[in-house]
Structure 1
Amino acid sequence: MCRLFAITSKDPLSPMVAIEALDVMREGHDGSGVGLFLRDLGGPFDDMKDAPILSGIFTEKGIRRLDGFMMEIGFMTKYKLSIKIPKTPPPGVPKRDIYLIRAYEYPEEWEDLTSDEKYSRLMNMRLELRKMGEEKKDMIVFSFWPDVIMIKEIGDPLSVARHLGLDRKDLMARVVMAQGRQNTNYAINLYACHPFFLEGFSTMTNGENTAFIPIKEYLISRDFHGYTGYQSDSEIFTHILHYTLTKLGLDIQTYKHIITPLQDKSIEAHPNGNFLKHLKHSCRRLIIDGPNCVIGSLPDHSLFMVQDRKKLRPGVVGGRPGMFAFSSEVCGLDAVIPDRDKSKDFQPMHLDTAIVGPDRQEVSICRQTEPLPLLR
């Protein structure tokens, strides 16, 4: 199994907070990899919320190709975070040339574009760079998006973090998601490492989804360029989330009804039964098969956790106003927020969606048996 930890805080935190929580839970993951997702950034990035940030791993040749590509389009570097790494990596960690975190100025020609148009172009650029990197094996591109940084690597999470010096003051965020362990169903590939990201949405999962193939085929048939990749069966959780909120125009509560719909008898008794019946029928190919615990982040900086019906992967939410965490195990919470009221810790069951909004004041619990706010 994997281990997950996510935290949302009113004050920027070092990603080492999440890494150390993973280390406390090390008996639940094999130390073969780590993925980090940072958003609502602090430090030098706090004053450039609209600047797209490119995150990835590059060879020297890859950097030269990247620079040529970006200059041709008109992107100029606004700020870069230089990660100087020791020549000899820890055991199990590959030797790399450059871990890149670079913020850009938009080209002048983009000034009159709407936000949606800019975001669509950024997504397509990320996919093009990824394709370029896969062809030459000189670029691994994780994200290209405003106010977002992603770091992924093979190896023990704590060893990787120390190797990269992730305790630096210029790498801080108010939302941090971290997963320990690589994908277990495919060959080791950093694109198969959680968390996953698409146009402001990110998820990570502990579990497996045996309904992966029909879900992947359905998403690909939607004719949206971003529904691609799929080195991991868990990437579909991010894409279903994106599809639910951006293509169907629904909300996070409805996301749970799509991936794990109620049984027919429960739908008949539901206040929004007719809607849910049609939703279950039209989105039946997006129903997952677990066990899965999913933690995700929304564009408004909300964090959420859901479980599938099997409820065979652990998950708990707790904290205090201004700081809440989502963890695979209680010991992860204890390590990071020991001064919380532990009686208020909540372990979501298969009908629950636990949400901490951008105000970071409380944990809201939405149950699938309740009326949908969107339809009130």
Structure 2
Amino acid sequence: MCRLALKTANEPFSPYEVLQAMEAMKEGYDGSGLGLLLRGMEFEDFKYNPRFPILSGIAHSRKAEQRMDEYMDDRGYELKYDHRFAMNPEKMSGKMRYRYFLRAYRMPPAFKDRPQEEREEEMLRTRLDLRRIGEENNGDLTVFSFYPDVAMIKEVGWPMEIGEALCLWDGQIKSRVCMAQGRQNTNYGINLYACHPFFIQGIATMTNGENTAFVPIRDWLLGKNIPGYIGYQSDSEVFAHILHYTLRQLKLPLQAYKHIITPLSSRELETHPQGDFLRGLREVCRRLIIDGPNAVIGTLPDETCMLVMDQKKMRPATVGGRDGAWAIASELCGVDAMVPDRDPAFDFQPMREHTVIIPPDRKELQIWSQHDQLPLPQAA
């Protein structure tokens, strides 16, 4: 098992708050990896423009950093801000990497007035090229994300240890959304790319559980030849790509994600008002049906957050909060650590048919059931 924690708030906060929630759930992971995703960025020493994509990752050598700089210059990107973490190497039990980077860029002039879809395709190509360049040079460059208003930090080790080593308590970076996963290595090797959350074009997920249907799902996704459907050092990375496929390729609402990964039975669909459509969706996407147990937490570019579970419901997660601040965690103590000033009587643990949605206004939870109607165009 792993442990997950997410906080979303109207006022930007330090990622250290979420690491403290991870510490409260420490018995659920083994120190084989920490992943952090920050969305809705605020830098202490830089007035950030959300149109600037942020490149985040690790350069493992000076040559790797130079290679990255040359690539970005040649492609026409202008560096606007280069965040420098205050470092405490003595806090890390292992050796720290050469350079952890968060860099904001102005996009090439050719993309200044291009539609958002074209800008996102360019950012994805750039991230994939940099990842490939790193892999071709003995893995000396690791790139996690390249997208506006998003930054990612990943490292092998214990969450609080990494937070102390990178001085994440100092308030130099804050965000309105922070996702964190403490990894327990169960299936694959220890690899930075295997740390959750996973990210593609503004869509991110992290998972607690195991996906025994991983291989057929992976092969189906790879067969689509969609840029970005690569990697798969973790069986959970497919959850991010299925969500991306649901929203970007099928152009369905967020609620449809649950129907794809855990569809209703034929008997349940007989009485569903959209039964014919959902039967067709199940047939077309049958290779994407998961076999849990899993709890999946996700976030979208507009800062929407969501939580779903599979049919087995053996990897619990709880959501709680108040107007303006909400938390999702694998354990109740994690929610307590992130939003202590809430009324716990309104905490909610979803059942197998639920999708819990925290909208960008963060006023209240939306609890949607698969037995409800999807907000589809009238023709569906």
Smaller-chain TM-score bracket: over 0.9
Q: How far off is 1:60 after superposition?
A: 1.1
Structure 1 match to 2:237: 235
Alignment correspondent of 2:114? 113
3-state SS of the aligned residue for 2:173? coil
1:17-96 alignment runs, 5 A limit? 17-44=17-44, 47-58=48-59, 59-88=61-90, 90-91=92-93, 93-96=94-97
Aligned equivalents of 2:220 and 2:201: distance in 1? 19
Aligned residue among 363, 366, 369 for 2:368: 366
Q: Distance in 1 between matches of 2:130 and 2:312?
A: 38
**Contact 1:89–1:95 (8 Å) recurs in 2:** no
Indicate if the aligned counterparts of 1:294 and 1:305 stay in contact, CA closer than 8 A: yes
CA drift at 1:193: 0.5
The yes-or-no answer on 1:252 pairing with 2:280 is no
Equivalences for residues 199-348 of structure 1 within 5 A: 199-348=201-350
What is the Cα deviation at residue 89 of structure 1?
5.5
- In structure 2, what is the Cα distance between the partners aligned to 1:152 and 1:225? 22
What letter is aligned with 1:262?
Answer: L
Normalised by the length of structure 1, the TM-score is 0.97
In the alignment, is the contact (CA less than 8 A) between 2:88 and 2:164 conserved in 1? no
What is the identity, as a one-letter code, of the residue corresponding to 1:165? C
| Alpha carbons 2:88, 2:167 under 8 Å: kept | no
Q: Distance in 2 between matches of 1:112 and 1:338?
A: 44
Looking at structure 2, the residues matched to 176 and 193 of structure 1 have their Cα atoms a distance apart, in angstroms, of 15
Number of aligned pairs? 375
**Displacement, 1:307?**
0.3
1:166-181 matched pairs, under 5 angstroms: 166-181=168-183
Is residue 32–residue 185 contact of structure 2 (8 Å, CA) maintained in 1? no
Name whichever of 242-251 and 222-231 sits farther off.
222-231
Counterpart of 1:98 in structure 2 is 99
Q: Distance in 2 between matches of 1:223 and 1:31?
A: 34
Identity %: 51
Bigger drift between 82-91 and 243-252 goes to 82-91
Q: Secondary structure at the match of 2:179?
A: strand
> How big is the shift at 1:370?
1.1
RMSD: 1.3
**Residue 8 in structure 1 maps to residue 8 in structure 2:** yes
**Amino acid of the residue matched to residue 81 of structure 2?**
Y
**Equivalent pair of 1:94/1:154 in contact (CA under 8 Å):** no
Counterparts of 1:130 and 1:2 in 2: how far apart (Å)?
A: 26
Is contact 1:57-1:98 (8 Å) kept? yes
Distance in 1, matches of 2:48 and 2:142, equals 27
Q: Does structure 2 retain, via aligned residues, the 8 Å contact 1:182–1:192?
A: no
**Which deviates more from structure 2 when the two are superposed, residues 107-116 or residues 11-20?**
107-116
Task: State the one-letter code of the partner of 1:154.
Answer: V
CA deviation after TM superposition for structure 1 residue 183, in Å: 4.2
Deviation at 1:234, TM superposition (A): 0.3
**What is the alpha-carbon distance in structure 1 between the residues aligned to residue 185 and residue 285 of structure 2?**
26
Quote the Cα distance in structure 2 between the aligned partners of 1:226 and 1:182: 25
Q: Secondary structure at the match of 1:373?
A: coil
- Structure 2 counterpart of 1:156: 158
> In the alignment, which residue of structure 1 is the partner of 2:191?
189
1:309-368 deviation per Cα after TM superposition (whole angstroms, max 9, x unaligned): 000001000000000000100011111212211110000111000010000000110001
Counterpart-to-counterpart distance in 1, 2:269 and 2:242? 21
SS in 2 for 1:129: helix
Contact 1:215 1:286 (8 Å CA) reproduced: yes
CA distance in 2, matches of 1:215, 1:204: 17
SS in 2 for 1:374: coil
Change (3 A) 1:198 1:182: farther
Name the stretch that deviates more: 75-84 or 152-161.
Answer: 75-84
Q: Contact 2:30 / 2:185 at 8 angstroms: preserved in 1?
A: no
Distance 1:2 1:182 in 2: 5
Shift of 1:184: 2.4
**In 2: Cα distance, 1:97 partner to 1:266 partner:** 55
Letter in 1 for 2:11: D
Deviation at 1:43, TM superposition (A): 2.9
- Deviations along 1:262-285, one digit per CA (max 9) or x if unpaired, are 011001111110001101111000
**Which residue number in structure 2 is paired with residue 127 of structure 1?**
128
The separation in 1 between residues aligned to 2:368 and 2:183, in whole angstroms, is: 29
Unaligned runs of 5+ in 2: none
Q: Distance in 2 between matches of 1:47 and 1:112?
A: 19
Structure 1 position 373, deviation (Å): 1.9
The answer to whether the 8 Å contact 2:196/2:207 transfers is yes
Q: CA deviation at 1:85?
A: 2.4
Structure 1 portions without partners, runs of 5+: none
Q: Output the CA distance in 2 between the equivalents of 1:33 and 1:234.
A: 14
- Whether the aligned pair in 1 keeps the contact of 2:28 and 2:184 (CA below 8 Å) is no
